Structure 1
């Protein structure tokens, strides 16, 4: 199974430092959750890994290949999938056309798509429907399915349950667990602590652009004071 290592990422917006020596390691078959208050740098970290925010220094290893400094379009081609906050679908295009864009990104064949449609069978019935007319839950499923079209070894999800009904959240949570069980490494950014605790293997707490602490999920479940300390919420 693949291993992704981010080492010493520093990133800036103008003169403001957004990431400070950001470092994580993520293995296939596990879910690592980034938790932190708004503005802690979680979304910036994902964008820096994907190359849409250019880090000033660091290293990004996927197994034995250093992807740091590669053009942004090469990161998904290497096998890192990304579901951005707000889903970023092409709302005027159909479900199939959105998925086709995913397939063309890496040209890995249809295995990833077929697996995604197993996870989200409702999409099979929506192939000709404009993606902008889908429900919020279906749009999240489509965004995940599009990312899975590259047959990723790592998939990063930014607030996938945002604005969703409880039934849709349960479906997304089940899909994340199945991805993990199939050997994919999952990096999850979430505000909803209750959505994270059942599925994460480890939690890394971020503040001011850096990882302040990291714990196995059992420790976080047993010591909810950690959530109050780092995120400002109780469970």
Structure 2
């Protein structure tokens, strides 16, 4: 589905990615794990065309994304939930979802599926999104991305700053998306947020991918996390 190979990305004169490579298949949750500044968010931005790729390739369902403008990439079937949610805070929940639908001209019937994941949003349609709780805003950011009916969803630290009960809700939604055959590329820096949802973990350090392994191996030997990126 998605194949990322040897990505190199610069911010000005600073090389932020120097060799990032990984793959993700339908119905799989892959987590990019590493410290702050390791290159995880930049990897997602590069996939979405928001960070110019100096060299390397990003191929999604046979299409080379690095040759496309950023506005064309969601149309290929990739949803993006950025860190910090990036909602239109002065618009209502309904208006935010409408923007998501327009991005790919998705049939409005997709909303039924989305509301089955986030029933609280159906009762908040007329509410201004900036007045939602942090957890509800995260739900809306995910719902807006799902309005594209994507085959692949990129999520940048979706549990950041949330209460434990809301973290559990987000985890359950990710597992349901996987069960529906969606691929999820998840960025995290906390191991405990990863083990319950990810199939595989790709360790990123200093703009490079160091190793990719099944989460089962990390459950058996948690010290592997320290061995690769020195975090717990």
TM-score of the superposed pair, with normalisation by structure 2: 0.97
Kept in 2: contact 1:7–1:58 (CA 8 A)? yes
Instruction: Give the CA RMSD over aligned residues.
Output: 1.0
1:23 maps onto 2:51 in alignment: no
Alignment partner, residue 67 of structure 2: 69
Shift of 1:114: 2.2
Shift of 1:118: 0.7
Alignment partner, residue 195 of structure 1: 193
Q: Distance in 1 between matches of 2:169 and 2:5?
A: 33
5+ residue gaps, structure 2? none
Kept in 2: contact 1:111–1:151 (CA 8 A)? no
Secondary structure at 1:68's aligned position in 2?
helix
Alignment partner, residue 225 of structure 2: 227
TM-score of the superposed pair, with normalisation by structure 1: 0.96
Alignment partner, residue 166 of structure 1: 164
Q: Distance in 2 between matches of 1:69 and 1:21?
A: 19
Shift of 1:183: 0.6
Shift of 1:111: 3.8
Kept in 1: contact 2:5–2:56 (CA 8 A)? yes
Shift of 1:110: 2.1
- CA displacement, residues 159-179 of structure 1 (integer Å, 9 cap, x when unaligned): 000000000000000000000
Kept in 1: contact 2:155–2:187 (CA 8 A)? yes
Q: Distance in 1 between matches of 2:165 and 2:39?
A: 29
Secondary structure at 2:149's aligned position in 1?
coil
Q: Distance in 2 between matches of 1:68 and 1:112?
A: 28
Shift of 1:92: 0.4
Q: Distance in 2 between matches of 1:162 and 1:231?
A: 20
Shift of 1:192: 2.3
Q: Distance in 2 between matches of 1:136 and 1:107?
A: 28
5+ residue gaps, structure 1? none
Kept in 2: contact 1:105–1:150 (CA 8 A)? yes
Alignment partner, residue 177 of structure 1: 175
Secondary structure at 1:114's aligned position in 2?
helix
